[in-house]
A and B are shown apart, each in its own frame.
Chain A
Amino acid sequence: ILNVEQSPQSLHVQEGDSTNFTCSFPSSNFYALHWYRWETAKSPEALFVMTLNGDEKKKGRISATLNTKEGYSYLYIKGSQPEDSATYLCASRNTDKLIFGTGTRLQVFP
């Protein structure tokens, strides 16, 4: 994989549902994986930065895992709420720069 890819592109879930999405990144020369939350009309907000294979991070109902050997990270949201509606971006550092994916747009319906 030469690029950072996120799937699905968009997701609609009901309030209370748990959901997850994927970020795939180059596994060679890996340094760090970032997750950001981007609400409409606002700026991206940092969620996690992970560097170690097997790393897991948690912030409230949101958690993320990292597999550097196979080049993927999962972001999980437990019990989605309407305020979780946003685009979730991941970015991989494989060289001297961050490469961003195009994001997963999550919409949570009440």
Chain B
Amino acid sequence: DSGVTQTPKHLITATGQRVTLRCSPRSGDLSVYWYQQSLDQGLQFLIQYYNGEERAKGNILERFSAQQFPDLHSELNLSSLELGDSALYFCASSVGGLNQPQHFGDGTRLSIL
């Protein structure tokens, strides 16, 4: 058990809809990272927050947004969903920055019908 909790585990929705994925980091970790894993692709970095502030951005679409709350949990919001957004979305956390190991949640599998 990594100590990182993601909910929900599975999400099925339709094109055009909006969903929110949630992540509670490991106790004591200040950084939260979001990744997308599509079929046959590696882990693609989306965005990082550190202690409530956005720290780095990857290839995150404008339709996607995220935030980290004062209690350090994070939410990833995906809107105007398209079929291509179907993927496994991982949250990871670490104590500090990118020279620290990341601890991954079990992921949220998003299926767009």
Contact = CB atoms under 8 A, between A and B. Distances in A.
Interface string A12-41: 000000000000000000011010100000
Bin chain A's interface residue count. 20 to 34
B75 interface: no
Contact of A34 (B4, B55, B56, B102): B102
Interface string B88-113: 00101000001111111111000000
From DSSP, what is the main secondary structure of chain A's interface residues?
strand
B77 interface: no
Contacts, number: 59
A43 B107 contact: yes
B99 A43 contact: no
B104 A43 contact: yes
Interface of B: 2, 4, 33, 35, 41-45, 48, 55-56, 58, 90, 92, 98-107
